[in-house]
Amino acid sequence: MLKFCNQFRAIALLCEHPVSCVRKPGFSILGNKERGVMPKPLRKAILPVAGLGTRFLPATKAVPKEMLTVVDRPVVQHVVDEAVAAGIEHIVFVTGRNKAVIEDHFDRQFELEKTLADRGKTKELAQLDRDTPKAGTTSFTRQQLPLGLGHAVWCARDLIGDEPFALLLPDMLHLPNGNGKGCLTEMVETYNKTGGNVISVYEVPDDQTNQYGIVGLGKETSAKAHEITQMVEKPAAGTAPSNLAISGRYILQPTIFDLLAKQEQGAGNEIQLTDSMLKLMERERFFSVRFDGSVYDCGSKIGFLMANVAYALSRPDIAPEFRTELGHFLGN
């Protein structure tokens, strides 16, 4: 009983002094990850979809780049699938002008559903039902100024609140090897063990590290995860701390929002997410997860074409015929 009372007095004293009472984001005030306290559950995700897609003009003049299809699904649908499979319950889309079609895509279309039902197309109707988010599980907010990724994330602050969140860049598609897990699923598994902030990385050729955000690694925390000690945005040739590039998947604590609010415009006169993550690294831990699969940058034409080939070859319903036709095309 005396021991309990002493513990109670200690907690009371802490609460009289707010500075001493500040908790690490994602962890209970009564403990931390070293004590095995579980981090806050990851429920929400941000998808920034406000970009203009100028590299794909004229295709993206009237159609958002996120709605370009990889096989028979829009790029953004693949990313939403990944988020839902990882247990995400609410997705915040940060949009821009001329992006209403994305909101329409994730809404019900009663006329189409009725037509499919009347024609007995039960398979297609069931697919639509699976792909359409339930009411209340999506939100859309505008990025009113083109101030970069960091600003887009900040625009979702009120919808995320004081919770950890996933950030998925829809340009980047992650295809697991074989029957492997999705990228965000792997990250959530690590996050549930480590807490903090988690970033997915993948290997790039040494002579291309100057095109990516590159991380430097510290101690290994599991078979796929390491603590991150450095982050460098597009390092000069020969100066990269590794050949591991950030793959467009993040789990971040909500403290990033305060840093983004104070962040000055950097490269390209934009609010750079990396700048705020570097500041966050000074007081919170970051971990990397090396994705067990292939990453395709659908923001580039070659990456987009490669994604179409790879996803087609991963589909049991079309892979055999496509592989044969591809062989004929290549003269094999």
Model confidence pLDDT, tens digit, residues 222-277: 777 899 999 998 898 889 999 999 999 999 999 999 999 998 877 777 889 999 99
Look at residue 34 in the predicted model and tell me its pLDDT: 47
Look at residue 37 in the predicted model and tell me its pLDDT: 66
Domains and CATH numbers, the chain: 39-330 (3.90.550.10)
The mean of the pLDDT values for the chain is 87
Residue 68 has pLDDT above 50, yes or no: yes
Residue 27 has pLDDT above 70, yes or no: no
Residue 328 has pLDDT above 60, yes or no: yes
Residue 172 has pLDDT above 90, yes or no: yes
Residue 319 has pLDDT above 70, yes or no: yes
Look at residue 16 in the predicted model and tell me its pLDDT: 37
CA distances from 68 to 3, 94, 306 (A): 63, 18, 14
Ordered alpha helix ranges (H), 234-272: 256-262
Fill in the DSSP letter of residue 217: E
Let me know if 165 is exposed, middle or buried by CB neighbors in 10 A (0-12, 13-18, 19+): buried
